[in-house]
Amino acid sequence: MTTAAASRSLSSTVVSARARRGWGDRLFRGLARGAALSLILLVTAMIIGMAGAAMPSFRAFGWRFLYTSTWDPVAETFGALPFVYGTLVSSLLALVIAVPLGLGAAIFLAELAPVWIRPPITFLVELVAAVPSVVFGLWGIFVLAPWLRNWVQPALGASLGFLPLFQGPPYGVGMLAAGIILAIMIVPFITAVSREVLLAVPNTQREAALGLGATRWETTRIAVLRYGKSGLIGAVLLGLGRALGETMAVTMVIGNRPEVAISLFAPGYTMASVIANEFTEATSDLYLGALIEIGLLLFAVTVIVNALARLLVWSVGGAVKQVRE
């Protein structure tokens, strides 16, 4: 690694001596630089374009937009609270289900599983991540929601019905369905990134713990998980970022009712779903502005969550060079 880096910088210095002459080199370098800079331009244009289009809504409602819950396109009164609430609750529910499963699967794949079984299972996990959102949504409508309505929700209502979380009629579609489908969709990301983080933990850590007489599980817990903690938090945040912005599958199973309800059985609505459902119907500038303002909010939140996640994952050794989408 170091010799490669050294020889690369050596070849670079050789090149820089020549580059002063070659117009081909200058042209090529300019093109490559331009392509890379276009990425920054793109994100800047994204922010400016969306902020501009959201202006009418921001002028009309100000910060009230974030904490009022009237969404009335006819009267042109818009408050985004039910959507913010729906996004947060469905994502948190997804994390509650997905984090233990994802971390468990990652520990299995990186530490405990027999070596021959690791590649096929890792491959299957990657395939789950590759399933298009709309296909999960289709499955959610026709398989998950009826199953929840007929089996899970009556059972939950009978046993835990004294909690406000599990009250109300079992529709099938609703917050619970959204949380479960989101969990299924983000768990492969959490698994894959956590696995990479665990693999980046140096072997000396494990050897030291084993040398002190720790069992396999104790080694994993003390020497590996603790070492990779910030990276694992990053993995969870990456999953959260996915959940916050996930659109199609959620739109298809959450029930799309703009209300704040405590019960997980009740239908809800998320920021991404309202954009998906109403964008093409938005006729006035104010209506469109309100939807784009929700998009801008979603953009800001996911950028913060993702930035934080990347920094945390990068912090666990340079060994985790890349985290796939």
Partner 1 sequence: MSALTAGSALAVVLPLILLFGFLLHQGASAVNVDFFIRLPKPVGEAGGGMANAIVGSLILIALAGALGLPLGILGGVYLTESRDRRLPWLIRFVADVLNGIPSIVIGIFAYTVVVLPMRRFSALAGGVALAVIMLPIVLRTTEEMMRLVPASLREAALALGLPEWKVILRVVLPTARAGIITGVMVAIARVAGETAPLLFTAFGNRFWHQRLDQPIAALPLQIFAYAIAPYDDWHRQAWAGALVLIALVFLVSLAARIATRGRYSAVR
Residue 223: CB minimum distance to partner 1, A: 15
Token pair 């998009």: residue: 295
- How many alpha carbons fall within 13 Å on the CB side of residue 145? 22
Would you count residue 322 as binding partner 1 (CB under 8 A)?
Answer: yes
- What sign has the CA pseudo-torsion 274, 277, 280, 284? negative
Task: Single out the segment in contact with partner 1 by CB under 8 A; choices: 10-18, 55-63, 88-96, 227-235.
Answer: 10-18
> Which of 25, 92, 152, 262 forms a contact with partner 1 (CB under 8 A)?
25
161 binds partner 1, rule: CB under 8 A = no
**Distance (Å, whole) CA 99 – CA 240:** 10
Binding mask 177-206 for partner 1 (x = CB under 8 A): -------x--xx--x-------x-------
Q: Report 239-278 residues binding partner 1 (CB under 8 A).
A: 241-242, 244-248, 252, 272, 275-276
Neighbouring C-alpha atoms within 13 Å toward the C-beta of 176: 25
To partner 1, the closest distance from the beta carbon of 262 in angstroms equals 26
| One-letter amino acid of 238 | L
Q: Does 124 bind partner 1 (CB under 8 A)?
A: yes
Which residue of 64, 70, 76, 135 would you call a contact of partner 1, by CB under 8 A?
Answer: 135
Of 190, 188, 197, nearest in space to 313 by CA? 197
Choose the stretch contacting partner 1; rule: CB under 8 A; options: 29-37, 63-71, 74-82, 171-179: 29-37
Residue 100 as a binder of partner 1 (CB under 8 A): the answer is yes
Alpha-carbon dihedral sign for residues 149, 154, 160, 163: positive
Contact 122, 109 (CB under 8 A): yes
**29 near partner 1, rule: CB under 8 A:** yes
